[in-house]
Amino acid sequence: MKNETALNQSPALKTGEKGRNIERLVGLLGDPVSHTLSPAMQNAAFQALDTGCRYLAFPVRAEDFERAMEGLAALGAVGTNITVPHKERAFRWVRRLDPSAARTGAVNTVLFSEEGGTGYNTDVAGIRTALAPLSPRRNNALVLGAGGAARAAVCALQDEGFAHIGIMNRTRERAETLRTQLFTVNSSKLPKCEILSFEGTPSFIPDLLVNTTSLGMHDTPWPKDLLDTVISLAKGGAVLDLVYAHGRETPLCDRAHRSGIKAVSGQEVLLHQGTAAFKLFTGMAAPVEIMRAALQKGNS
Ligand code: ATR
């Protein structure tokens, strides 16, 4: 049984290590990682604050994941980010879980120490910060998808105080599993949850629609009818699309903006999960605007 105690967000970098000759490694493990903007974003911040850290992305196949983590720990890495498809594997690998990871069942940030790896999830905080400028009414939310990103989104919406959350997914069983795991804690504060198919109509008008599916990524285009349906559902609210697209708007954000709906893309979520991870890696407040500029430069 893992230790799920509340962990001090203690800095991984001890004072005295800052500025020394040997750079300390911070990793990113995923598959693929060739398109990722995280190294540009994190290295800009590491340099700006003279942390002595270097962020490197490594493509790692699922069967090599555990060996890669052991290798990073042996190299004295400060920590690592974890991206698709390894977040659940990382959850199983770490010795200790911060509550942010324990509740979502996914780890996107690991800090290494003598005691082993500690797993965190900064996606929830990233989603909460990204949706702030949309200032939606915290009443009804509709989440498209039921995978790992949907879990983080549902936790974020619960924390934001939404009263009613609909989960719309292609595969109903997956949405039901998510509901069982995230909505059955014995607490009267939990929002109501409704499961829908893509053909279904929610019993409420969403104040916020969150896309956590792969729809809109370059290799997964939206079926036109579904995009039309989703835009008509979002008319009374705002859109947070967890997808981000290089050098252009995502198809969902583009349609939303053209329909007069406020929308924010996954680039803001990437930024804010990254600023929370930076704080864990270094113990310092993240230079948000430097990180945003690095993302925008990498994305242009
Ligand atoms: P992530 O960790 O990024 O959430 P994931 O766990 O693989 O990735 O989840 C991907 C989500 O996108 C799922 O909700 C998936 O639907 P299924 O549960 O039915 O697989 C959804 N998804 C992926 N491709 C899709 C498509 N072509 N049409 C509709 N939904 C899709």
DSSP output for the chain: --B-PPPP---SSPTTTTT-SS-EEEEEEESS-TT--HHHHHHHHHHHTT--EEEEEEE--GGGHHHHHHHHHHTT--EEEE-TT-HHHHHHH-SEE-HHHHTTT--SEEEEETTEEEEE--HHHHHHHHHGGG---SSEEEEE--SHHHHHHHHHHHHTT-SEEEEE-SSHHHHHHHHHHHS-SS-TTSPEEEEE-TT---SS--SEEEE-SSBTBTTBPPPHHHHHHHHHHHTTSEEEE----TTS--HHHHHHHHTT-EEEEHHHHHHHHHHHHHHHHHSS---HHHHHHHHHHHH-
Concerning whether 279 is annotated as a catalytic residue, the answer is no
Q: Does 135 sit in the ligand 1 pocket, CB within 6 Å?
A: no
Q: Does 18 sit in the ligand 1 pocket, CB within 6 Å?
A: no
Residue 214 CA to ligand 1 centre (angstroms):
6
What's the pLDDT tens digit per position in 123-136?
999 999 999 999 99
Q: Does 149 sit in the ligand 1 pocket, CB within 6 Å?
A: yes
> For a pocket test of ligand 1, which of 121, 179, 210, 214 has the largest count of ligand atoms closer than 8 A to its C-beta?
214
Q: Mean of the pLDDT values across residues 135-146?
A: 96
- Per-residue pLDDT at 20 exceeds 70: no
- Per-residue pLDDT at 62 exceeds 70: yes
What's the pLDDT tens digit per position in 75-84?
999 999 999 9
Q: Does 109 sit in the ligand 1 pocket, CB within 6 Å?
A: no
Give pLDDT, residue 5.
44
What's the pLDDT tens digit per position in 87-132?
999 999 999 999 999 999 999 999 999 999 999 999 999 999 999 9
Give pLDDT, residue 9.
45
